[in-house]
Each structure stands twice: as C-alpha cells, then as structure tokens.
Structure 1
Amino acid sequence: MNVLDESPTVKSTLKILLADDHALLRRGLKEFLQDFLAEDGQTPYIAETGSAQHAIEQIRAAAWDLVILDLNLPDMPGLEVLRILKSVQPALPVLVVSIYSEEHYATRAVRAGALGYLTKETGPEELRAAVSRILRGGSYAPSSQIDPQQQDALSTRPVTYTDRLPAGLSDREIEVLQWIAQGRRLTEIAEHLNLSIKTVSTYRSRLLIKLGMRTTAELIRYALDQQLV
C-alpha cells in the first residue's frame, strides 16, 4: 500500500521519502525521524511508499532532501530502483536501510549512488547519526560494516575500487539472479529490466557457467543461500 500523508508541495524544512515494503517499519521509522528532527528544530514532511514504481513517481514529481530506501521492494530489485532514482535526480541523497548483509550489498549500493548503507539491525543512535550526517551533505558507513577502501569510496567520486561480489558476478547478473530466484519467467524479467528476452537468457547462461551449475533450481538455491532474496 502506498501512503502519502499530504501533498509534497506543502512547505516544510525537510522532505523525506521512506520506501519500504513493511508498513509497520515505515511508521516506526517515520515517528523516530519526526521526534529527533523536532529536537533539532526541524519540521519534516515525511512520505511513505511500499512500491518502487511509486517511489520513482514521487522523485520525478518533487525535490527531496533524503530518500531512505529498502532493497527488497516487491515490484523491482532495489539496486535498479536506486539507479533510476539517481538518474532522475543525480544529486538525490539516498540512505539504504536493508535486511541484506553488508557483505553483498553495501559496496554495490555505494557504487549505485547511495550515501550510506545500514542493515535493519542497526540501533536508533546509529540511524540518527547516519541521517544527520547525510542531511548535512555528508555520507555515512559504519567502519564495522564497510572496510576502509569502501569508506573512501563514500567520500570520493567516481568510485575506483573493486567490487566484491559473490563469485565475481556483475550487478546486472545479480539482479537477474534475484528475479530468477523469485520464480519469475524470462519474459517477466525482461519486461521489468527493460531488456530483450534473448539478453536475459544470455545472463542466465552466464550465471550457470560462472557458478558451475546446470539448472535453474540450483540458481535458486544459491540465491537463497547467499541471502540475495
């Protein structure tokens, strides 16, 4: 369900968009942000959505000071959403807060344009620190989650470090793998990623070769084991 509490044209100090597929988490996060920003003398407008497409529509419709993005939205892979948001508004500050482990996603999120990455196990004070730093024009990544090389990448563009993906898979291959693991047909994947069916089939073949597998079922098991879905 998509939620917008008021028009984004309402004047306020800050405009923040929460994109997460769990309504209760969004509500708790919204209340937390309102409370700590009020302590800083700010009155934010905070909108919520559980849909990638709706988040993209909101970014196209108005300027935002911060987007807090989950990578597990139901209608599009999270990193694809992030890339689209940044293509629409290149200077858009995005903080990723995800259930997925930092090992597989933190670096990739930074490369796609995020200014910070936190897991949903993060404590409130760390979340507050991340939001505050990003709103001040900085970036945030706890040293316990991202190594020094990745920390440097948060403060310098373009990114020049080597991405550490499982089995050396590319971003697009990971995205195709995620969709396959969700039981999507190649035609559906092609439509969602705006690719031809032949191209998606090629990505599937590459996945099988790189991972040393023979069947789609093996790909699905791998994705589940790696917590990619």
Structure 2
Amino acid sequence: MHQPINLLIADDHALIREGLRKILSIEPGINVVGEVADGQQAVDFCHHNQVDIVLMDINMPVMNGIEACRKIKESKPHIGIIALTIHDQDEYLFELIKYGIAGYVLKDVHPDQLVKTIQGVARGESFIPPAMTARVLAEFSRLSCGDHTEKKHHLLTEREIEVLKQVAKGQSNKAIAKTLFISEKTVKNHLTSIFNKIGVEDRTQAALYAIKEKLVEI
C-alpha cells in the first residue's frame, strides 16, 4: 500500500485554505498535514514536519511564495512545490522554475486536475501549463541570445537523450522505465547524469531545456 501524500496548504486567504482542505481531505491518499497563512510559516512548517507537497500561494504577506519556494528547496529539496496563483504571469513562473518548482496551477483549476497534479508531482513529474511553457521558453531563448557555446546535450549518450525526451513529455520514472524497457533505478541514474551534463537541477528545467533545444516538440 502506498504511503499517503503529506500536503501543506499555504495561502493567506482563510476561505481558500478551507476550500482546498475540504476538497483534498476527502481524497484517498492525500493527507493534509497543515495550513499556513504566509511564506515564512510555510518554511517553518516544512522544517519541523514531514511534508511531501506544498500548495503555495504566490502573493502572501511576510514572505511571498517565490522566496518561500527558494528557502524550502534549499533545505528540503525532496519537497515538491505546486504554485497557486490567480494570474498566469510569466515572471512568476520564470522565477519559480529557477528555484525548482514542480507545478504551476491557476486557482480556478478543476479539483480533479488539482488532485492529478498533486499525485503526479508526488511521483516525480512536473506540471507547467503548455501555453505558459511556450512563453517561458521564449524568455530562456532571449536570455541566452548570443551564447555560441557548444550545445550541452551533445555530451549526452543516446540512451540519456531518450530518457530526456520522455521527461520532456511529462512521463514519470515508472513510465519511462516501462517505455524504454529498463529499471526505475536505471532511469534515476540516467537523470542524475543528465542533470549534471546539461547543468540543471530538476525535471522541469530539464524538460524546458529539451524543448528549447528542439529535442522534442510541444
């Protein structure tokens, strides 16, 4: 039997916290372990409690969600963070990706999709809205304009490129292992090597790199 997903809700609006808690508490396999009203409380809660996933509002007092994401990932890199926001603003997503966010959803997301996102992030997957992915890639391209250094994916083996392509398609380690007829442990080993070679820290950054370098198409 799978361990329940320990979930923390971080939002400065009590009604939103209450609504999320009611929706998610009845979902089998999700254990809402706490609710906090600002980013600093989220950081402190994660430091003292067992948390797997944080639903993180972006605009909060004391410490915003972006800074809280950075601090949590520095001390607890295994925690998956899903950003919740009213606006699909590019600068938020761009900053959050740099700090290792695993998912980005708008607050009007359908409850079923939110549950699927939480479950997917818990499996090690990443969720960025396709429309926003294209805009973020454009920003990455703008920032890297004029960079004529050798493409880092040339350092990857043929198998590592296959794994990277599957990551960019949003596949979990289990799904990649099944598709490529290898073990999940081998997938993890390949991912560690891929991250080191192309200079990224997580699956989301690796997926965006693969799309940007046209290893896959969106």
1:16–1:65 contact (8 Å) kept in structure 2:
yes
Q: Which residue, out of 34, 37, 41, partners 1:50?
A: 37
How far is the alpha carbon of 1:45 from its aligned partner? 3.6
User: Are 1:26 and 2:17 counterparts?
Assistant: yes
Partner amino acid, structure 2, of 1:58: F
**Rounded Cα–Cα distance in structure 1 between residues aligned with 2:40 and 2:169:** 28
Change in CA separation of 1:116 and 1:153 when aligned onto 2, cut-off 3 Å = farther
Q: Is 1:22–1:50's contact at 8 Å kept on the other side of the alignment?
A: yes
- What's the CA shift for 1:131? 1.1
Q: Give the TM-score taking structure 2 as reference length.
A: 0.59
The change in CA–CA distance for 1:45 and 1:79 in structure 2 (over 3 A counts) is: closer
With 149-158 and 57-66 compared, the bigger mean Cα shift is at 149-158
Q: Which amino acid aligns with 1:96?
A: A
Match of 2:159 in 1: none
Q: Root-mean-square deviation (CA), in Å? A: 2.8
Residues 149-158 or 54-63, more deviating? 149-158
Alignment partners' CA distance in 2, 1:153 and 1:110: 17
Letter in 2 for 1:84: K
Unaligned runs of 5+ in 2: 141-166, 172-194, 210-218
Q: In the alignment, is the contact (CA less than 8 A) between 2:52 and 2:78 conserved in 1?
A: no
User: Aligned partners of 1:33 and 1:51: how far apart in 2?
Assistant: 20
Aligned partners of 1:92 and 1:124: how far apart in 2? 21
Question: Hey, what's the Cα distance between the residues in 2 that align with 1:29 and 1:43?
Answer: 12
Structure 1's unaligned 5+ residue stretches are 1-11, 163-229
SS at match of 1:90: coil
Give the one of 133, 136, 142 matched to 2:123: 136
For residues 111 and 89 of structure 2, the distance between their equivalents in structure 1, rounded to whole angstroms, comes to 18
User: How do 1:14-163 and structure 2 match up within 5 A?
Assistant: 14-35=5-26, 37-38=27-28, 42=29, 44-147=31-134, 149=137, 152=168, 157-158=200-201, 159=205
Deviation at 1:61, TM superposition (A): 0.6
CA contact (8 A) 1:59 1:88 kept: no
Question: Quick one: which amino acid aligns to residue 138 of structure 1?
Answer: E
